Structures are given as C-alpha cells and as structure tokens.
C-alpha cells in the first residue's frame, strides 16, 4: 500500500506555514513558483533568464503585463529563510554572457531567490492604492534530488524490489554487475555490521553513478547518493537495496538496519526537502529535456516518462480554493516545457510539442483530473542558435546555425567549440509513439550548442537575452497574478 508522502505533523507544519504566509502576505502576496526538472533539464538557465528578463524588462512581447505597459519593475530581495544560500544569479549571468560564454555547471546544492515585482493592476479596485507588489519565490536545486520524492510513498521492501528489478535488466547488467555479485555474497539476515553496509552502499553508489554517466537512465533514486552535499558518509546515506527476506528476521539483522536507514533517509532528508520546498507551491513549471532522451534512444525516452510521472504524482495539484488558500495551497497551473527548443528548427516545434505531450500525458491527465490547468510549450530560455536553410542534393533543409560546444561529435568530426556550423539535426518523428518502439530507426543527432557569442544590449546597457516563447511561458505562469 502506498504511504502518504507526509505525516500528520508535517501537515500541521505546512498548514501553519501557509497561515503565516497568508498573514504576512495580506499586503504583499507571495507566489511560489516551483521549477521542476530532472538534472540537466535547464532549471538554472530558466531561472536565470526569468530573473534577468524581469529585472531588465527584457524583450518579452508575449508577457502581457510588460507588453501592456503595466509592469513597472522588479528588484531582488532578501529571501526570508536565512539558512539557505541565495541563487547566484549574477554569477550565472556572467557565465552565460561573459567573454567566453558557457552553460553554467550542474547545480550541486539548493538555493533560493525572491524577486519583488511592481505593477499596476488592471482592476480598478486594486489600482486605487497605486502600484501593487508581488513577491515571487523561486528555488533551484539539483535535479537528482527530485527523484527522491517518489520514495516517500515506498517502503524499504518495495523500493528494494524496484531497484533490484531495474538493476537486473539486460541493458544495465554491465553497470550493475559488481553490486549484484556483492549482494549475492551477503546474507541479509546475518547480524548487522557497519563495514558490510558501507561496502554495499559504495557498490550501489558506483552503479548509480555509472548508469548516469552512460546517459541511458534518468530514473535512479536515491538522488543524494550522487550529490550528497553535507550528508556524505552519514548513516542515512549508507544503505542499499536488499532482496526480500524469506524468514522472519531479527531486529539486529543487516536487513533491519538497512531498512531503518532507508526510513531515516526518507524522514530526515527527503521529507524536509519536500515539505519545505514543494508542499506549498502555487505554480509549477516542469522542464523536460526531450532532445537528450531522443539522442539516447527508446529506453531513455520510456525511462524519462516513468520518472516524470512518478515525480509529478508527489505534488499537490488542483483547483485553488480561495477560502482554503490560507491553509492549503495547491498548484493550479502547470506548464510542461520542452526546453532547448533552439536546438531544433522552428518548423519542428510542433512535433517537439507533440513528443512532450506524449511524454507527460499521464502526468497531465492526472493534474487535469485534480482540477489544475496545464499547457505545454517548446521553449528556450536563452536562444543559442540562428536559423537558416541549406540546399543539399536537391533538397532544401532547415538548419540551425551555432557553435557546438567543445567535444560534441557527429559523423566522425569532433568540434572544438570555436567553429560555427549549420546543422540539420534530422526530422523529428511525426508520430510521437514511434519513439517508444524499439526497432524503428530514428536518425536524430542533436548537438549541444554553446551560448550565443554576441548579445544585443538595450538602452540601459543590459544584455538582452534572446529566447523562444519564454515570454509566453512566463505569461502563463505568473501573468494572471499581475492582472
């Protein structure tokens, strides 16, 4: 039986925090935007682009408050929770737009940011007291940690069965070989001792790391094994899946010890993360790196779908009830965004959208059933390519012009990160289902492009970030709060 992700005590805490927010937010409401996405989905770029475009009033014709001239400005503010680092917006922007533009490195720890937006309401009763303000809270975190959320509903036995089943699949037997051999040599019913637990945990972590580096699998909890942060080596991170115990076990057996540690991991690592950052969201954007999964093949695509469905089932979605909002917040709008839309030609964006819809179909059905509104878009927070056409062997091919990052290879050519090329990445399939079928050859090769070299500057000297449909994404997510 699946367990609820939170305990009664958590629920009380969440309700109290909501009430505190409602009390402080009586004059300045706070909108909590949940940026969710597995690792390398583009969360950091999305947040950086969001902050920069709001702060500088970037080029966003589709963002209604700005286009209608009602958006007055934004500034960064101190985040109320003093124990969590601030999102290093300036640093990320510098990396993206500096002399040697590069994509920021993967996020390794959690960080938060609050932006205060000032706008004039369109409603006369809000306009009476002049410009209104809205606090926008955003959290950035390693995408690997997101995979832990489904663990909240699983017991140790259920998780072990799932993890071992996945490890024994033929596709991952190479990476999982050592850990499976070690598991066979250890009797789970023998008295608990730490060296065994440590050996198991090390082997399991190696397996997780290697399957991630091969890029084939995206759904491998527990996420903290890969990015432990401060918890490295602590007992809560020293466990591994064990085959189900046949006999009744003693409470001092290895199995009981690891099961206890798994519960501790859930209770002391995952649940606070969920409770503090995801249980009280108003809006959610789900970033999906479709192209990377397409490059990797059908198994990765199917994996991505499973991971997204499992992760999104943990969120509290549903119609926002204005009477209950002071106590219980719900996500009433979810945007599914296929990121890196600049890596395909705009004529293929429809197909990219169709693939995204197929990937998130069960998650979005579930969300719509609970009353939330969903939409999907193909977006790019920072557009790295230009578009053009090329004629090759009598065919006119839509191409992308950009600089592939160093080390990207295609047809035996490895690019150095300086040469600019025109790329035709192949046609996306018309029928999204064909991506899930083995045997259908899908010839696609999406190279990763470096951030644009030369960026325009506006009248104030601020960099203007080119984007694709980012303004519409933003309009959907926060536009109605600024109405």
Where does this chain bind other proteins (CB under 8 A)? 59, 61-62, 64, 67-68, 346, 349, 383, 466-469, 472
Residue (of 407, 421, 428, 447) closest to 355 by Cα position? 428
Which CB, 312 or 468, lies closer to other proteins?
A: 468
Residue (of 17, 46, 3) closest to 380 by Cα position? 46
Cα 256 from Cα 156, distance rounded (Å)? 10
Instruction: Give the number of residues written for the chain.
Output: 483
Taking the complex as a whole, how short is the minimal distance between the CB of residue 47 and other proteins, in angstroms? 20
Taking the complex as a whole, how short is the minimal distance between the CB of residue 346 and other proteins, in angstroms? 4
Tokens of 2: 């699946």
Taking the complex as a whole, how short is the minimal distance between the CB of residue 465 and other proteins, in angstroms? 10
Cα 18 from Cα 40, distance rounded (Å)? 31
Which residues, at least 6 apart from 102, have a Cβ–Cβ distance to it below 8 Å? 95, 96, 405, 450, 451
Q: How far apart are the first and last CA of the chain?
A: 44
Taking the complex as a whole, how short is the minimal distance between the CB of residue 352 and other proteins, in angstroms? 11
Which CB, 92 or 349, lies closer to other proteins?
A: 349
CB 114 within 8 A of CB 135: yes
Which CB, 347 or 440, lies closer to other proteins?
A: 347
Which CB, 68 or 319, lies closer to other proteins?
A: 68
Which CB, 331 or 338, lies closer to other proteins?
A: 338
Residue (of 455, 450, 438) closest to 45 by Cα position? 450
Taking the complex as a whole, how short is the minimal distance between the CB of residue 466 and other proteins, in angstroms? 6
Cα 482 from Cα 281, distance rounded (Å)? 17
CB 289 within 8 A of CB 339: yes
At residue 428, what are phi and psi to the nearest 5 degrees?
A: -70, 145
Which CB, 283 or 469, lies closer to other proteins?
A: 469
Taking the complex as a whole, how short is the minimal distance between the CB of residue 32 and other proteins, in angstroms? 27
Taking the complex as a whole, how short is the minimal distance between the CB of residue 66 and other proteins, in angstroms? 10
Taking the complex as a whole, how short is the minimal distance between the CB of residue 300 and other proteins, in angstroms? 27
Q: Report which DSSP code applies to 87.
A: P
Which CB, 65 or 188, lies closer to other proteins?
A: 65
Residue (of 309, 266, 64, 252) closest to 156 by Cα position? 266
Start-end of H helices in 98-170:
124-127, 143-146, 156-167
Which CB, 19 or 67, lies closer to other proteins?
A: 67
Taking the complex as a whole, how short is the minimal distance between the CB of residue 15 and other proteins, in angstroms? 39
Cα 164 from Cα 154, distance rounded (Å)? 14
Which CB, 312 or 474, lies closer to other proteins?
A: 474
SS3 label, residue 72: strand
Cα 94 from Cα 48, distance rounded (Å)? 10
Which CB, 3 or 347, lies closer to other proteins?
A: 347
At residue 387, what are phi and psi to the nearest 5 degrees?
A: -115, 150
At residue 101, what are phi and psi to the nearest 5 degrees?
A: -65, 135
Cis (ω within 30 of 0) for the bond into 222? yes
Cα 115 from Cα 70, distance rounded (Å)? 17
Taking the complex as a whole, how short is the minimal distance between the CB of residue 90 and other proteins, in angstroms? 25
Which CB, 340 or 467, lies closer to other proteins?
A: 467
Taking the complex as a whole, how short is the minimal distance between the CB of residue 152 and other proteins, in angstroms? 39
């Amino acid at each position: 039986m699946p367990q609820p992700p939170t305990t009664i005590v958590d629920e009380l805490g969440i309700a109290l925090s909501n009430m505190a927010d409602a009390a402080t937010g009586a004059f300045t409401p706070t909108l909590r935007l949940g940026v969710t996405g597995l690792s390398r989905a583009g969360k950091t770029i999305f947040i950086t682009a969001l902050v920069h475009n709001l702060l500088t009033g970037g080029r966003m014709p589709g963002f209604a408050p700005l286009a209608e001239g009602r958006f007055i400005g934004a500034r960064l503010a101190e985040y109320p929770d003093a124990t969590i680092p601030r999102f290093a917006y300036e640093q990320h922007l510098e990396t993206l737009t500096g002399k040697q533009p590069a994509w920021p490195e993967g996020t390794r720890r959690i960080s938060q940011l609050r932006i205060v937006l000032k706008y004039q309401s369109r409603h006369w009763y809000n306009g009476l007291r002049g410009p209104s303000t809205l606090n926008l809270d955003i959290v950035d975190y390693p995408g690997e940690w997101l995979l832990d959320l489904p663990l909240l509903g699983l017991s140790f036995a259920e998780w072990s069965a799932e993890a071992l089943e996945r490890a024994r699949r033929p596709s991952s037997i190479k990476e999982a070989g050592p850990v499976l051999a070690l598991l066979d040599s250890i009797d789970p019913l023998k008295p608990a001792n730490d060296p065994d637990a440590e050996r198991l945990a090390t082997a399991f972590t190696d397996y997780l790391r290697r399957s991630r580096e091969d890029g084939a699998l995206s759904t491998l909890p527990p996420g903290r094994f890969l990015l432990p942060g401060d918890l490295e080596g602590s007992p809560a991170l020293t466990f591994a899946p064990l085959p189900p115990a046949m006999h009744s076990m003693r409470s001092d057996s290895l199995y009981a010890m690891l099961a206890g540690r798994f519960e501790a991991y859930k209770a002391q690592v995952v649940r606070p993360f969920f409770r503090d950052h995801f249980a009280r969201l108003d809006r959610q954007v789900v970033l999906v790196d479709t192209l990377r999964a397409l490059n990797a093949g059908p198994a990765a695509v199917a994996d991505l779908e499973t991971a997204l469905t499992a992760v999104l089932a943990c969120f509290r979605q549903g119609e926002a009830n204005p009477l209950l909002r002071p106590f219980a917040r719900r996500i009433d709008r979810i945007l599914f965004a296929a990121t890196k839309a600049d890596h395909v030609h705009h004529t293929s964006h429809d197909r990219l959208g169709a693939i995204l819809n197929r990937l998130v179909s069960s998650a979005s059905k579930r969300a719509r059933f609970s009353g939330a509104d969903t939409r999907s878009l193909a977006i790019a927070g920072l557009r790295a390519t230009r578009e053009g056409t090329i004629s090759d062997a009598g065919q006119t091919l839509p191409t992308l012009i950009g600089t592939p990052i160093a080390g990207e290879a295609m047809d035996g050519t490895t690019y150095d990160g300086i040469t600019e090329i025109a790329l035709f990445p192949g046609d996306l399939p018309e029928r999204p289902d064909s991506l899930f079928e083995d045997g259908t050859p899908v010839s696609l090769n999406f190279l990763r492009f470096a951030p644009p070299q030369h960026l325009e500057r506006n009248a104030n000297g601020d960099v203007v970030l080119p984007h694709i449909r980012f303004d519409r994404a933003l309009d959907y997510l926060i536009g109605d709060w600024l109405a």
